[in-house]
Amino acid sequence: MIAASAGNHAQGVALAASTLKVPATIVMPQTTPEIKVTAARKRLRGQTLIAVNTEANSNFDRLLYIYERAEIGEDREALMAVTIPEKRGSFRKFCRVLGKRSVTEFNYRYTSNTNAQIFLGVKLSDGNMERTEIIKLLKKKGYSVVDLTIMKWPRRIYAIS
């Protein structure tokens, strides 16, 4: 369950998620009054509540972006930039190295006649350990890899436990 709210809706979703024992991620603007954040936190035991650093409520077209940051924070996705050769078959070879992992995001940038830059999101089933394994595997196969997962995304995050 995913919701974006400045207070009342967040509390309702938090209560429903806790009652039904389903995972929930709730996104709240940083400007949400602390009393509403606290109320949602009390109802959302063991779940995730994120307060986003914005001056107003987040537009729902930005919710996917926020949700993706939550996936990263929960160690369910890895983001990386990888340099591959700019030649026929390079991308196919790269995909074979990745194996049957789910690609959650992909962007290709031609950088020169010899190299291309890939921005890549990969779904993780084994968290940080799997991310480390993927990066080691790619480097072992000769790819230049920059781990973007550990970048700081939102400024203020509330973890409910």
Strands annotated E in the chain: 2-4, 25-29, 48-52, 77-85, 103-110, 115-123, 144-147, 156-159
Percent of the chain at pLDDT exceeding 70: 70
Task: Give me the sign of the Cα torsion angle 160, 17, 129, 136.
Answer: negative
Contact by Cβ (8 Å): 63, 49: no
Instruction: Provide Rg for the chain, Cα atoms.
Output: 19
pLDDT band at 156 (very low <50, low <70, confident <90, very high): very low
pLDDT band at 138 (very low <50, low <70, confident <90, very high): very high
Domain with CATH 3.40.1020.10 in the chain: 77-147
Top pLDDT among 73 and 154 is at: 73
Crossing angle for the helix pair 127-140 and 90-98, to the nearest 10 degrees: 140
pLDDT band at 158 (very low <50, low <70, confident <90, very high): very low
CATH architecture label of 77-147: 3-Layer(aba) Sandwich (3.40)
Contact by Cβ (8 Å): 61, 84: no
> What pLDDT is attached to residue 33?
77
> What pLDDT is attached to residue 70?
57
CATH fold of 2-74 reads Rossmann fold (3.40.50)
Side by side, which strands form the sheet with 156-159? 2-4, 25-29, 48-52, 156-159
Domain with CATH 3.40.50.1100 in the chain: 2-74
| pLDDT, tens digit (0-9, with 9 covering 90-100), for 72-117 | 566 778 888 999 999 889 989 999 999 999 888 888 887 788 999 9
